[in-house]
Amino acid sequence: MTTLAAASTGEAITFWILGPLALIAAVMMVLSRNAVHAALFLAGVMLSLAGLYAAQDAPFLAAVQVIVYTGAVLMLFLFVLMLVGVDSSDSLVETLRGQRLMAFLVGLGFAGLLVAAIASGTTSSGGVGLEEANAEGNVVGIARLLFTKYVFAFEVTSALLITAALGAMVLAHKEKAKDHLSQRDLARARFAGNHPTPLPGPGVFALRDSATTPSLLPDGSDAPGSVTQALTDRQNTYDAKARSEAADR
């Protein structure tokens, strides 16, 4: 019966530094109400795991953790958040019926797997087949297993990443509410309305400099459109009210 290999001083120091950081970041990720903050805490968890992989002489896993998960998958999450938009009220709305119960059950299942893995790692005599897999080198051994024995799982993971990218495109796509007019269309509309030049702003060439005072055309008449419709309606309401009060008197 073989005994567990004792961890070196460097491995112990690395674990007691990165382990609590990963745990705190994971807890804050779950408790955070802001999606962007949760993604940043997830980045802290992934980087801490990469440091732990490097301390265990697994440079390939450490590089994959940083490049693929932190640099690609997590950036995809942030890209989707930037395109779709983040609202603090969105996290309080349950869009899928029963999602809280399903999330609790899935989390409970992952917790059971984590406890079983920790129990197996602490009670067993050590890793089985680890030395044989790393005999030709960590990177070469993982690459050989990844593209031979576990090639189907690797392709399924690639399909999931592509599906996530397509989902981001679908969520970020927004139909155009209306067509934007080009400069040529605006010029044609201006000439069609007998206004080849832009109309002056409110109060220009008028007796008073006010946003509610329409500008004057060369013939002395009010320039249409120089005052917004909201102000015009408000002025008409005030005039009608004044006439009504005058009639009552």
Given a contact cutoff of 8 angstroms between Cβ atoms, the answer to whether 30 and 110 are in contact is: no
**226 exposure class (CB count in 10 Å sphere: 0-12, 13-18, 19+):** buried
For residues 129 and 140, what is the distance between their CA atoms, to the nearest angstrom? Answer: 15
Whose tokens are 């009504």? That residue is 244
For residues 109 and 117, what is the distance between their CA atoms, to the nearest angstrom? Answer: 12
Strand partners, 222: 216
pLDDT in tens, 124-133: 665 666 677 6
pTM: 0.47
Q: Which two tokens stand for residue 113?
A: 């797997």
Q: Which amino acid is at 164?
A: A
Q: Which two tokens stand for residue 19?
A: 């382990």
Q: Is the pLDDT of residue 1 over 50?
A: no
Q: Is the pLDDT of residue 139 over 60?
A: yes
For residues 239 and 224, what is the distance between their CA atoms, to the nearest angstrom? Answer: 19
Q: Is the pLDDT of residue 174 over 70?
A: no
**190 exposure class (CB count in 10 Å sphere: 0-12, 13-18, 19+):** middle
pLDDT in tens, 98-126: 777 888 898 899 889 888 887 877 776 65
Whose tokens are 């899928």? That residue is 96
Q: Which residues contact 59 (CB under 8 A, 6 or more apart)?
A: 53, 138, 139
Q: Which residues contact 76 (CB under 8 A, 6 or more apart)?
A: 161, 164, 165, 168
pLDDT in tens, 16-60: 888 889 999 999 988 887 778 888 898 899 899 888 888 887 888
pLDDT given for residue 24 in this prediction? 92
Q: Is the pLDDT of residue 170 over 80?
A: no
